[in-house]
Amino acid sequence: MSFTLTTLKQSIQDWTQNSETTFVNELDFIIINAEERIFKVVDLDYFRKNVTGELTSGNKFLQKPTDYLASFSLSFVKDSANVFLLQKDVNYIQEFTPNPSTTGRPRFYASFDVDNFIISPTPDSSYSAELHYYYRPTSITQDANGTTWISENASDALLYACLVEAYTFMKGEADLLALYTQRYGEAINRLKVYGEGQENSDAYRDGLP
């Protein structure tokens, strides 16, 4: 089973037996909250992305992608080889390079603010860089096709997450909320088996998960 935005909204209304105008008007927000539940608890390749950019000579900052959530790795090319930077906190960076005008081959990076990384030492030259990161996929409420990987491949987790959010909004019956929370947890566990087991291993090297 898979959902489009239209069929997902209809299923939420059918399961909750609620088509009241205020509730229907909140369905996009309910769905976005449900997606956030899934994004934050399951590690799927679908949530990973690679982008290339440039470390600029004399510039200690590197701009983050607009959909950035967290880093997996940041590297740059030196003498045709990838060199990986170690992620630290900002205090470590500022202590390691107290004078930002000091340049050298980059060794560390940290999340400086919502828009930028800080690099240390400040790059002594321009380098091609590659960021492997965890990102927020486009919500089904905003996707031009009206579907997403989650709606097509983890429809049960999405539906039960939506029902938990919907019943919370409705201040619905406690026993039904508990049931949907349980079903959501079961669906998430199945998704974790896929995302953290089957998706990241092969039977030849690791055996069947």
For range 127-143, the mean pLDDT: 91
List, in sequence order, every beta strand (DSSP E) within the chain. 48-55, 61-63, 68-78, 81-84, 86-87, 103-104, 108-111, 116-120, 122-123, 127-135
- pLDDT given for residue 29 in this prediction: 97
C-beta atoms surrounding 148 within 10 Å = 23
**102: which DSSP letter?**
-
CA 143 distance to own-chain centroid: 16
Q: What's the rounded Cα separation, in Å, for the pair 48 and 185?
A: 23
pLDDT for position 200: 47
Given a cut of 90, whether residue 136 has pLDDT beyond it is: no
For the segment 16-43, the average pLDDT, to the nearest whole number, is: 94
pLDDT, residue 99, reads: 85
Per-residue pLDDT, 54? 94
d(CA 151, CA 172): 24
Mean pLDDT of the chain: 89
pLDDT tens profile 32-85: 999 999 988 888 888 899 999 999 999 999 999 999 989 999 999 998 899 999
With beta carbons less than 8 A apart as the criterion, state whether 163 and 179 touch. no
Burial of 35: CB neighbours in 10 Å, binned 0-12, 13-18, 19+? buried
The confidence band for 101, taking pLDDT boundaries of 50, 70 and 90, is: confident
Q: Is the pLDDT of residue 206 over 80?
A: no
What is the pTM (predicted TM-score) of this model?
Answer: 0.75
Average pLDDT for 195-199: 57
